[in-house]
A and B are shown apart, each in its own frame.
Chain A
Amino acid sequence: MTPLIMRQGRLAPWLYLLPALFIMLIFIVYPTLNTIYLSFLDASSSQSAATNCVPGDSCWGAFENYHYALTNPDMVTALRNNALWLLVMVPGTVIGGLVFAVLADRVRYESLAKSIIFMPMAISFIGAGIIWRFVYYIETGSGEQIGLLNAVLVALGAPPQAFLSNPAINNFALMLVGVWLWAGFCMTILSAAIKGLSAEVLEAARVDGASEWQLFFRIMLPLILPTVTVVITTMVINVLKIFDIVFVMTGGNYGTEVIANRMFKLIVTDTGRSMAIAVILIILTIPIMIINIRRFRQQEAIR
């Protein structure tokens, strides 16, 4: 797109850009660079991170905070958990959202149904955390189970489960909350893509005798694939940054630690290490950033 070139001073564009650029410079660019710098310093940001080295152990010199961030047992758990979150929550939200978008497309109460699935997007992660803490609540005393899930288990004759403190299941319990929160986002975007498909193409396929399954896998899915990619990349970013759910539901205890929560915990007590974790977080998002910019370039070329 070529801009309209009215007689303009050399200065005019910058007057419009200045407030935004100035604020972004201070609040995004400067702190990002500063964070990288701080990640090479010690807990109080006064000396090199090398002073964190324990004599006798292996030492990464100025990269000692990264040594910690990649080998400390809590961080290993966090990295493993984030990977698990990616593996479960991204397919969970995208497939869940897609299935619901396709199904809801065929019923008359579509908009109501979609509003219900979308509703969690309106509330805070903190609020969602409380809603689900209540669902997962376990009464360990003699009283009745007042948490819905454990009441169901007891009614079925099973023993109640400590969903949030049992390391075998608690990560999945948290991911379920994530799916509950984000499936609506995926559903909305995918639903719009499905609605944008040409009705004639779908009708022609039906007339040619394609089954609904074939229609979905052979025609719909390939056509909306670009949108699916967008949704997946967005979800990958969201999952990498996942914090609030874990913070409010388990505080990262019982083996549910994630990168962002680990970073938050160390932010005051050990800034250097905390910043190294933040840098790792941004390194993980760089591939997505590149994909996004590349896609943007392609779109600009078509415009």
Chain B
Amino acid sequence: MKPLAGLNRFLSRLPLHLAVIGMCLLWIIPTLGLFVTSFRSREDVRTSGWWTIARAQEMTGQAEYETYCAACHGNDGSALATANLADPEIVARYPRSNRLLAMLRQDVDGGPHLVGPTLPEDPNQALEVLSPILTRMQILSGGGESAARFSLRNYADALVGYKGTQDYLTDCEQGIASSLAKFECNASDLLNPEGMGQAFLNTVFVTVPATILPILFAALAAYAFAWLDFRGRQWMFALLVGLQIIPLQMTLVPISRLYVQLGIQNTFFGIWLFHTGFGLPYAIYLMRNFIGSLPREIFESAYLDGATHWTAFRKLVLPLSLPAIASLGIFQFLWVWNDFLVAKIFLNAHPVLTVQVTNLIDPRGGNWHILTGAAFLSFLIPMIVFFAFQRYFVRGLLAGSVKG
């Protein structure tokens, strides 16, 4: 009886599991696709979907190779001693299929290279044929295949902001000067203003102060709202609740004119202040609710012992509100790190990650390999922070929107 009961229970719960797991898959697949793509070569990304990586690769290009190449080069590519297609060194000369095409269009031994069927005239169609053949050659030459399929080359391109015909690492190895005009092929390229490396530094430089400043000012104000008495306390706090939802868009033009007058447009200082201003209403609200719920007795005894407000604030409030500070910190950190609009308007001269990613978008969709790498570079830190401190993030979210 028992195993049957277990089976019954399992079957009756099956729809539940299917629903939950199905929804999780739907949620994760788009991101997974981007992640997988970021490791694939430009050629692979352009010609096949990322989900095909699981497909057996041994057969790739087999048919095309047999049609065009096998008659002379042999099935394993080594029939011609002078043009051994299984030789990794020869294969390495053709990192992309357009190189192969250029070579095939040239005559060999006084006649056309291809003696059998000819390639399509249209270059794009010809490349469609050559791409699998190139893959086949890489497979035949062995070893290099897996390395070529998955690499960090896209990340290197994205980090230095490389837009050449091949990838940055290959061009540097081969010293292709024309594509490397702005590059040194050493660590200094990481600071290329068009790359994600510099953008990463810019983002860090924006985010850290823009996270600390509002929390600091909010803690001070929240202490006053929670434990001090002053005129207008009630209505000012109610106003604060209202201010939380003022759309940021309202303030862009006046602030940017102010910044131009003050000469702090396109400075980090300017963007710190802006994020501080916009982070404050929520930060004060959350901190005040937390500080206000600390037990009254500890303040009373501290005051009886002669503590000043300043001492109480530093020695009691700040240490005790660490959980709230953590929640708020993560909240503000993610918000500033992921911000696009404010950075685009006030710091366009020093693009942060989000702005830099949009600079890399090719409207024709030709550079997915770099874009996916760049996008993942921008996710890296927020993902780590998010998963490491998810508890605090959730707590901050709940405190802000429900508890009140």
Q: Which residues of A contact B (CB under 8 A)?
A: 1, 3-6, 8, 10, 12-14, 16-17, 19-21, 23-24, 26-32, 34-35, 38, 100, 103-104, 106-107, 109, 113, 115-127, 130-135, 137, 141-148, 151, 180, 185, 188-189, 192-193, 227, 230-231, 234, 237, 240-241, 243-244, 247-248, 260, 263-264, 267, 271, 274-275, 278-279, 281-282, 285, 288-290, 292-293, 295-297, 299
Contacts and interface: CB of A to CB of B under 8 A. Distances in A.
A119 B27 contact: yes
Contact of A17 (B221, B258, B361): B221
Contacts of B249: 241, 243, 260, 263-264, 278, 281
Given A122-B382, A135-B33, A143 B47 contact: yes
- What are the 4 tightest A-B residue pairs by CB atom distance, in nearest-first order? A27-B277, A122-B386, A31-B251, A124-B338
A227 B27 contact: no
A194 B224 CA distance: 34
8 contacts: A4-B296, A4-B303, A17-B220, A23-B276, A123-B378, A131-B375, A278-B250, A292-B242
B404 A6 contact: no
B238 interface: yes
Given A24-B280, A123-B383, A278-B249, 7 more contacts: A6-B303, A20-B280, A27-B274, A116-B27, A124-B338, A127-B378, A188-B398
Interface in B247-273: 247-255, 258, 273
Contact of B230 (A13, A115, A141, A188): A13
Nearest to B275: A27
Contacts of B34: 130-131, 134
Interface string B24-43: 10011111011001000000
Given A3-B228, A4-B299, A16 B254 contact: no
B202 to A, nearest CB: 14
A122 B386 CA distance: 6
A5 B19 CA distance: 55
Interface in B314-342: 334, 337-341
Contact of B397 (A125, A180, A189, A264): A189
Contacts of B168: none
Contacts of B397: 185, 188-189
Given A4-B227, A16-B224, A116 B338 contact: no
Given A28-B243, A106-B16, A146 B273 contact: no
A113 B253 CA distance: 42
A20 B217 contact: yes
Tell me which of A5, A27, A151, A292 has the highest count of chain B C-beta atoms within 10 A of its own C-beta.
A27
A29 B383 CA distance: 34
Interface in B101-148: 124-125, 128
Nearest to A6: B303
Given A28-B277, A192-B398, A297 B383 contact: no
Nearest to A12: B309
Contacts, number: 291
B264 to A, nearest CB: 12
B254 A30 contact: yes
Contacts of A132: 30
Given A16-B223, A142-B124, A267 B246 contact: no
A24 B244 CA distance: 11
Contact of B244 (A13, A148, A292): A292
Nearest to B386: A122
A242 B361 CA distance: 21
Given A130-B371, A230-B402, A135 B30 contact: yes
B49 interface: yes
Contacts of B37: 134
A130 B361 contact: yes
A282 B228 contact: no
Contact of A31 (B217, B250, B276): B250
A122 B383 contact: yes
Given A19-B221, A148-B30, A244 B242 contact: no
Given A12-B228, A146-B46, A285 B245 contact: yes
Task: Classify the secondary structure of B's interface with A.
Answer: helix
Tell me which of A124, A134, A285, A290 has the highest count of chain B C-beta atoms within 10 A of its own C-beta.
A124
A182 to B, nearest CB: 12
B404 A296 contact: yes
Nearest to A271: B253
B300 A131 contact: no
Contacts of B383: 119, 122-123
B357 interface: yes
Contact of A103 (B16, B340, B401): B16
A30 B397 CA distance: 28
Tell me which of B128, B227, B233 has the highest count of chain A C-beta atoms within 10 A of its own C-beta.
B227
A107 B338 contact: no
A234 B402 CA distance: 11
A249 B148 CA distance: 31
A227 B228 CA distance: 30
A272 to B, nearest CB: 10
A117 B26 CA distance: 9
Contacts of A34: 253-254
Given A12-B309, A148-B49, A100 B23 contact: yes
A116 B28 contact: yes
Contact of A130 (B277, B372, B387): B372
B228 A13 contact: yes
Contacts of A106: 13, 16
B156 interface: no
Contacts of A28: 243, 246, 251, 277-278, 281
A20 B243 contact: no
B212 interface: no
A16 B221 contact: yes
B241 A282 contact: no
A118 to B, nearest CB: 7
B179 to A, nearest CB: 25
A274 B254 CA distance: 12
A144 B19 contact: no
Contacts of B220: 16-17, 19-20
B17 interface: yes
B86 interface: no
B125 to A, nearest CB: 7
B205 interface: no
